Amino acid sequence: MACCTSCPRLCSRSSAYTLALGLGFVTMGTSRILLLKFSANSENKYDFLPASVNLLAELLKLLFCLVMSVRVIVREGRSCRDLGWSSSSSFLHSLKWAVPAFLYFLDNLIIFYVMTYLQPAMAVLYSNLVILTTAVLFRIVLKRRLSWVQWAALVILFLSIASLTMGSGSKQNSTTVSTSLHVNITTSSNSCLLYIQLLEQMRNSSAGGSWVSPQPGQAWKNRVVEKLQSLGVGHILLLLQCFFSPMANIYNEKIFKEGDQITESIFIQNSKLYAFGVVFNALILGLSSEARGLTVHCGFLHGHNIYSLGLVPITAALGLSVAFILKFRDNMFHVLTGQITTVLVTTLSFFLFDFRPSLDFFLQAPMVLLAIFIYNASRPKDLEYSLQQEKLRVVNGEVFERSRGDGEELELLTKPNTDSDSDEESL
């Protein structure tokens, strides 16, 4: 009570929403990393198609947002045309959601393959490079300013992760989940078994070079794979993810809040985003001959176990939590909150995945967290960003009454910033 009296903002509804968003994001993010590892087989690979998990998660999110969108439309007396699919012009306008949907599709697919090469603790530590890419995109796309101290912290963060990557790091012990829960939930038919056997024969023939007429481009693909393996596939995939993820989040936040979209229902916006997500994940299953064959002969749920099915609602809930964070907070809140996930996953890896870090790890990993702390503590005051957050509080009913009740302050908040700012701007 004393804390609420001295600082009432800490006990406001906005603070409660922020805490709930942060806790939900950390819980779902940590659970997803653990389930990704547990759902792999003894060879640290997946018996199921990763795209099938993402497709089911996108369908679940789309169904939820459509139901909530209809509720919003009925409650506000609006037309169903507001969903954006009623005409060709509205459909073309909705195509902007295809960009983040495609980037999220790549991001959600890459994480499966990252976990086959890296320990969960090392993967979440290396993924902190996303702070660097997010900060750069923040400056370029959203015009957010960074102080010199923040840029210095980002350089330290990059060097720390590079040192951690090049060093011995830790012993990469593979973990086999020997539990009754790690069994396929479907039985394989004779057609399925014959098709899998045929796939194995084709792979062995391709690997042994015994084909008289190899597939077009097969030799080129093999050379690319060999080159990637020499460089470290896990690190390359993680680097790609650290580029796709902030690109998707930055662009998503931009269209969430641009113009009058800042007052639009998040469920209507997400319905458009997840509709494209369903399309992209369905396409990868339909265009890949191997995925298409496995689905036809073995069924859509072939190879799935209880952990992979648990990934579906967890991935869906994580995606929804990210959307709410981007809509009502910002990207840096999303990235910095993810550091709690880093600490939790690293700690749990000691007990669940036989993670045995070396002395170098204990010396270098804290530098990553310290650089993140310095970056967050050195955040400059951004008038434009503060006004945008105040607009969101007005939209969500956080600002009910001010000292002057004539609407002057609301007009000031929604007025474009025409000040010239200081000549000595931060970077």
pLDDT of res. 155: 82
Q: Which residue has the higher pLDDT, 210 or 141?
A: 141
In a domain, 404, yes or no: no
Residue 339 above 90 pLDDT?
no
Residue 111 above 70 pLDDT?
yes
The two three-digit tokens of residue 180, written as one number: 């009754």
Query: Cα separations (Å) of 235 from 161, 178, 231?
Result: 11, 27, 8
Contacts of residue 3, defined as CB under 8 A and 6 or more positions apart, other chains included, come to: 10, 11
Q: 43 falls in which pLDDT band (50, 70, 90)? A: confident
In a domain, 359, yes or no: yes
pLDDT of res. 314: 96
pLDDT of res. 222: 57
Average pLDDT over residues 44-69: 92
Residue 99 above 80 pLDDT?
yes
Average pLDDT over residues 77-95: 71
From 117-121, 259-263, 303-307, the region with the lowest mean pLDDT? 259-263
In a domain, 62, yes or no: yes
Contacts of residue 198, defined as CB under 8 A and 6 or more positions apart, other chains included, come to: none
pLDDT of res. 76: 80
From 145-154, 188-197, 315-324, the region with the lowest mean pLDDT? 188-197
Q: Which residue has the higher pLDDT, 102 or 422?
A: 102
Q: What is the pLDDT of residues 219-242, one digit of tens each?
A: 555 565 555 555 567 778 888 888
In a domain, 146, yes or no: yes
In a domain, 85, yes or no: no
In what helix (H) or strand (E) does residue 129 lie, and over which residues does it extend? Answer: none
Q: Which residue has the higher pLDDT, 244 or 146?
A: 244
Q: Which residue has the higher pLDDT, 55 or 136?
A: 55
d(CA 282, CA 290): 14
Q: 267 falls in which pLDDT band (50, 70, 90)? A: very high
Residue 66 above 80 pLDDT?
yes
In a domain, 89, yes or no: no
In a domain, 341, yes or no: yes
DSSP for 74-105, written as a single string: HHHT--GGGGS-SSHHHHHHHGGGHHHHHHHH
**Number of structural domains the chain divides into:** 1
| Residue 256 domain boundaries | 12-74+98-174+191-203+231-396
Q: Do 392 and 386 meet the contact criterion of CB atoms below 8 Å apart?
A: no
Q: 213 falls in which pLDDT band (50, 70, 90)? A: very low
Average pLDDT over residues 333-362: 79
Contacts of residue 215, defined as CB under 8 A and 6 or more positions apart, other chains included, come to: 206
Question: Phi, psi at residue 171, to the nearest 5°?
Answer: -75, 125
Q: Do 75 and 291 meet the contact criterion of CB atoms below 8 Å apart?
A: no
Q: Do 137 and 247 meet the contact criterion of CB atoms below 8 Å apart?
A: yes
pLDDT of res. 105: 95
For the purposes of burial, counting CB atoms within 10 Å of the CB of 273, is it exposed (0-12), middle (13-18) or buried (19 or more)? Answer: buried
Residue 352 above 50 pLDDT?
yes
Average pLDDT over residues 360-368: 75
Q: What is the mean pLDDT of the chain?
A: 75
pLDDT of res. 322: 93
Select, from the ranges 236-250, 284-298, 410-424, the one with the highest average predicted confidence (pLDDT). Answer: 236-250
The length of the chain is 427
Average pLDDT over residues 332-342: 79
d(CA 14, CA 113): 37
In a domain, 364, yes or no: yes
